[in-house]
Amino acid sequence: MANTTLKQTYSLGGDLTINRMGYGAMRITGEGIWGPPEDRDEAIRVLKRALELGINFIDTADSYGPNVSEELIAEALHPYPKDLMIATKGGLLRTGPNEWPVNSHPDHLKEALEGSLQRLKLDKIDLYQLHRVDPEVPFEKSLEFLQNAQEQGLIKHIGLSEVSVEQIKKAQEYVKVVSVQNMYSVDNRKWEAELEYCEQNNLAFIPWFPLGGDNQEALDKLTQIGEKHNASVHQIALSWLLHRSPNILLIPGTSKVKHLEENYKAASIALSQEDMDDLEKFKAS
């Protein structure tokens, strides 16, 4: 059952209270998430404006650029406000634009984590996420690295990305998992069971590619609901996610201040139960 009363904050790991509308910093890079952004000054403005709006959860990764996103975050925002939580990830290599080979071997994760700490100018990462499970590396080895890094004080909380319920349970044998970042949107419910598992077990669920867009019927319905609320398709898609479950944290990404402000307004849209019911039918699509 959807909750049409929006809770604006979420307590990650039981000790980090953050606003559910966050910002994903993948897009402040070049085309193909490769190299520097086309408009570097605008990227800096986006990061600063995010904090002005009240956003205190920024999601990035060493592979965005690579390195570019983390470097810009530090340049724009360091020294960081006390309530700002920066989440980053390790486990992907970059061999060119739009190329993302997986490498979650402990040796690579060590290099990635050390690089992220240096670029972000941090002694500890609030939320460090395994970007992908590596089919060439035993999952246990990647988990043992995260476990050790946490014990060393380099990581506060641990998250996973693009994982099944079975993989989440496996990880929980080694570490306390506080978040799962999987692809999810109105018209892409592949990970529905994982969202429900996270909700039942008090894990944050962080949908990436939250705007979907392949299903024309879903787009038509989002447009119709948007007209009722004087909102865009993107704003309704984001609002639906916030209403869908109280453990969902949003990280829509953009390289433009205008789009950032438009995305942020989605948090103030109150969808009705009828709106939610109209969009629920895409669960099976």
Diameter over CA atoms, the chain:
53
Instruction: Per-residue pLDDT tens, the chain, 285 aa: give them.
Output: 344 568 899 999 999 999 999 999 999 999 999 999 999 999 999 999 999 999 999 999 999 999 999 999 999 999 999 999 999 999 999 999 999 999 999 999 999 999 999 999 999 999 999 999 999 999 999 999 999 999 999 999 999 999 999 999 999 999 999 999 999 999 999 999 999 999 999 999 999 998 876 788 999 999 999 999 999 999 999 999 999 999 999 999 999 999 999 999 999 999 999 999 999 888 765
Give the pLDDT of residue 212: 74
Q: Sheet containing 155-161: which strands, arranged edge to edge?
A: 23-24, 57-59, 85-90, 125-130, 155-161, 177-181, 204-205
User: Which residues partner with 19 through β-bridges?
Assistant: 9
Give the pLDDT of residue 210: 85
What fold does the segment set 16-284 form as a domain?
Answer: TIM Barrel (3.20.20)
CA dihedral sign of residues 157, 195, 165, 198: positive
| Long-range contact pairs involving 10-16 (C-beta distance under 8 Å, separation at least 24) | 10/204, 10/246, 10/247, 10/249, 12/85, 12/127, 12/157, 12/178, 12/179, 12/204, 12/249, 13/156, 13/157, 13/176, 13/178, 16/85, 16/126, 16/127, 16/156, 16/157
Which residues are within 8 A (CB) of 27 and not within 5 positions of it... i.e. 6 or more apart? Answer: 33, 253, 254, 255
β pairing state of 177-181 and 16-19: unpaired
Give the pLDDT of residue 3: 45
Tokens of 45: 């403005």
**Is it true that the peptide bond before 79 is cis, omega within 30 degrees of 0?**
yes
138 — phi, psi (to 5°)? -55, 130
* Contact indicator for 258, 232 with CB cutoff of 8 Å: no
Q: Coil, helix or strand for 177?
A: strand
Give the pLDDT of residue 5: 64
Cα angle, residue 269 at apex, residues 255 and 221 outer, rounded to 5°: 85
Question: Which are the catalytic amino acids?
Answer: 64
Q: Coil, helix or strand for 136?
A: coil
User: Which residues partner with 177 through β-bridges?
Assistant: 158
pTM of the model: 0.96
Give the pLDDT of residue 1: 39
Rg (alpha carbons) of the chain, rounded to whole number: 18
Give the pLDDT of residue 211: 80
